[in-house]
Structure 1
Amino acid sequence: MQPFSIASPSTWALLALPFLSSVLGSPLLQQRAKGPWKGLDTNFPDPSFMKAADGKWYAFGTNGNGKRVQVARSDDFNTWTLLDVEALPTLASWETNIDHWAPDVVMLDNGKYVMYYSGEAKSDLRHHCVGTAVSDKPAGPYVPNETPLSCRLDRGGSIDPAGFKDKDGSRYVVFKVDGNSKGHGGDCNNGVEPLVGTPILLQKVGADGFTPVGDAVEILDRNTADNDGPLVEAPNLILHGDTYFLFYSTHCFTDPKYDVRYATASSITGPYTKNNNPMISAANTGLLSPGGGTVCGCGDRMLLHAFCTEERTDRCMYVADVNISGKTASLA
């Protein structure tokens, strides 16, 4: 009988290579790796998301792929499927048929769904109002209300709405006044002095999700000293513990410096203190102009977009895990 011999470390390493390669290359490990992973390999800008009554996750994106408002769905938040549905098949009388941007959906206490979106105003082309629409189903069809939630066309219009429900049940919508659309040229039309403000406003709404309660209040704006570039945009508000987190993007969406940052406050109306270290940037993710991030109320997951390729045409949807500790948010 031959004595049993133990393989050398180098032999074991060679034997293990195929196994390690298959494990490390598995979609599960790639998805759970630190940093964002691609959720949709197609044009799906400005993604927002919510968990519906059916237990599934739904994401909503800016017009593209032949739809005014795009919808994707996921069972696990890791892998996503683009649905062949038009969430907004009809329009209100105030809006044109093009450029529907940055939709966001919330579920009301009565089980209905309200969509907030940016629609181009017929009365002032190239500028937008925040519209609202209602549906019994998360993927629609949504029926638009005839009265916009906010226009402010004299200041550049209103875009990038996002709904929020506070701990006392009160509902709010945050949105951007699109001041750079009234700028003087340059980067995102606001790179030439004098630079125009692009404030983030907070509007309280009724239990129906769309009737304004009182006047909107300003809670943030661009600041050259904070290295915001020509704008702040894409606001998204959550409450984690006793701290309000306002996520937003700075710089122009075509700029490699486009990013996701956040500000914190102990009161929903502020004052908000900026954390000027980008939470997500090209430098810490390797993505092309990442931004437009939406974080869920639980504070542990995010969707965002970045250019799909170096050609910088389409913007793909990316998924990320988030850690929040105290007043600090970071990628998991």
Structure 2
Amino acid sequence: MTGPGRRRAGAAAAVTAALLAAGCAGEPTPSSTPEDNRVFTNPVIRTDAPDPQAIRVGETWYLVHTNSGGRNVPVHTSPDLVAWTAAGDALPELPAWADPGRTWAPELIQLAPDRFVLYYTVADRASGRQCLGRAVAATPLGPYRDDSTGPLVCQAELGGSIDASPYRDTDGTLWLLWKNDGNAIGVDTWLWSQRLSDDGLRLVGTPTKLLKQTEPWEGSLVEGPFFHRHDGRLHLFFAANAYDRATYAEGYAVCAGPTGPCVKAAENPILRSNEVASGPGHASMVEQDGRTWLLYHAWPPGQEGSTDPGRQVWLDEVVWSDGKPVVKGPTQGPQPRP
């Protein structure tokens, strides 16, 4: 999500802290009815949890999101993608070069049974911009530690670098996606990709521009990218438009490979506001038992930009029609659990 939006995280943090003090945030989210545990209803996390991403390790899902409640990288756990329990701060200490309060859009990847890498956006003290860091832990819960002496990516002259997303392709190569935060200084917002070293800690080669804002629905920016392959085709999903408006939405492109070229889908956006959710986007995709699901945040209609409840986490199924992703949402009625 965009820089100005994330600066509201401090106010949102106070709300979440109050929930924690009241003993609310640590309980599983009551997303299913007691009468029928085969269904659930959205949202699956009802407190402010922007920019969600989740991975599965063993029988447990681990979800991280933008800072809140005094935590740099809040982490939640779930057995089923529906009932989530707050599980602390995955990144309790920031590196010496970073300032607290603006730790955005974290994403996890598992590289070995006991090696997990967290990529995150953080305030770089030297440049005054948002830049990308990486941290390592032996378990998905952390604590992750960033031993670097500076950012992994920091395009200060392009507004900064945000929204890192790691991806392992089918040939085993590792890649990193991100956005230059051009809207912070009034320039274009590009989505970039670059090869990662096998340990996930260094960039290899040169970065590639994949796409920027060009369509009316995208407004002045694109952001929140991630890759997903389906039936051999590489899809680049992204959010676009102002984070605190109903016009915020999710779209995708099809890419020839991790360095492009990429062609945007004619049917974009594939996830947009409706009567139950406003400004849905900054998504991530997971698969469970042969089904595909989209995790994303959205505001309650009419409460865009507010901090209570803020951007809640929604879960909706994605079906593939002629190779194209179709999101069955935003949906607030009962639906089968993953």
Question: Which TM-score bucket, shorter chain as reference?
Answer: 0.7 to 0.9
The residue that corresponds to 1:305 in the other structure is 297
**Separation of aligned partners in 1, 2:105 and 2:237:** 15
Instruction: String of CA shifts for 1:4-42, please: whole Å, max 9, x gaps.
Output: xxxxxxxxxxxxxxxxxx9998464344xxxxx211110
- Where does residue 192 of structure 2 map in the other structure? 201
Structure number with the bigger relative contact order (C-alpha 8 A, sep ≥ 6) is 2
- Normalized per residue, which structure has more helix? 1
Establish whether residue 79 from structure 1 lines up as the match of residue 74 from structure 2.
no
Q: What CA distance in whole angstroms lies between the structure 1 residues aligned with 2:171 and 2:211?
A: 23
1:270 aligns with 2:260: yes
Stretches of 4+ moved more than 6 A in 1? 22-25
Give me the TM-score of the superposition, normalised by structure 2.
0.81
CA deviation after TM superposition for structure 1 residue 309, in Å: 6.0
2:54 corresponding residue in structure 1: 49
Paired residue total: 289
Cross-structure match for 1:192: none
Deviation at 1:86, TM superposition (A): 1.4
| Residue 317 (str. 1) matches residue 308 (str. 2) | no
What per-residue deviation string (whole Å, max 9, x for no partner) do you get for residues 165-214 of structure 1? 0011000010000000112xxxxxxxxxxxx2100000110111121110
- Whole-angstrom CA distance in 1 between matches of 2:243 and 2:122: 19
- Residues 61 and 102 in structure 1, CA contact (< 8 A), matched pair in contact too: yes
Percent of aligned pairs sharing the same letter = 29
CA distance change for structure 1 residues 306 and 27 in 2, over 3 Å: closer, same or farther?
A: farther
Structure 1 position 326, deviation (Å): 4.3
255 and 242 in structure 1: CA distance in 2 versus 1, 3 angstrom threshold: same
Aligned Cα root-mean-square deviation (Å): 2.1
Give 1:139 shift: 1.0
Q: Which has the higher strand share?
A: 2
Aligned-partner Cα distance in 1 for 2:173–2:207: 14
Say whether residues 1:250 and 2:240 are aligned partners. Answer: yes
TM-score (norm 1): 0.82
- Note if 1:260 corresponds to 2:260: no
The alpha carbon displacement at 1:248 in A equals 0.4
Gaps of 5+ in 2: 1-31, 329-338
The answer to whether the Cα contact below 8 Å between 1:134 and 1:143 also exists between their aligned partners in 2 is yes
Equivalent residues of 1:242, 1:266 under 8 A apart: no
Residue 131 of structure 1 is matched in structure 2 by: 133
Give, in angstroms, the shift of residue 120 of structure 1.
0.6
1:275 Cα deviation from its structure 2 partner: 1.4
- What residue ranges of structure 1 are gaps of 5+ in the alignment? 1-21, 32-36, 184-195
Larger Rg: 1
1:125-184 CA-to-partner distances (Å, cap 9, x unmatched) read 3x211100000010110001313220011110000011100011000010000000112x
Structure 2: which amino acid aligns with 1:249?
Answer: A
Equivalent residue letter for 2:64: F
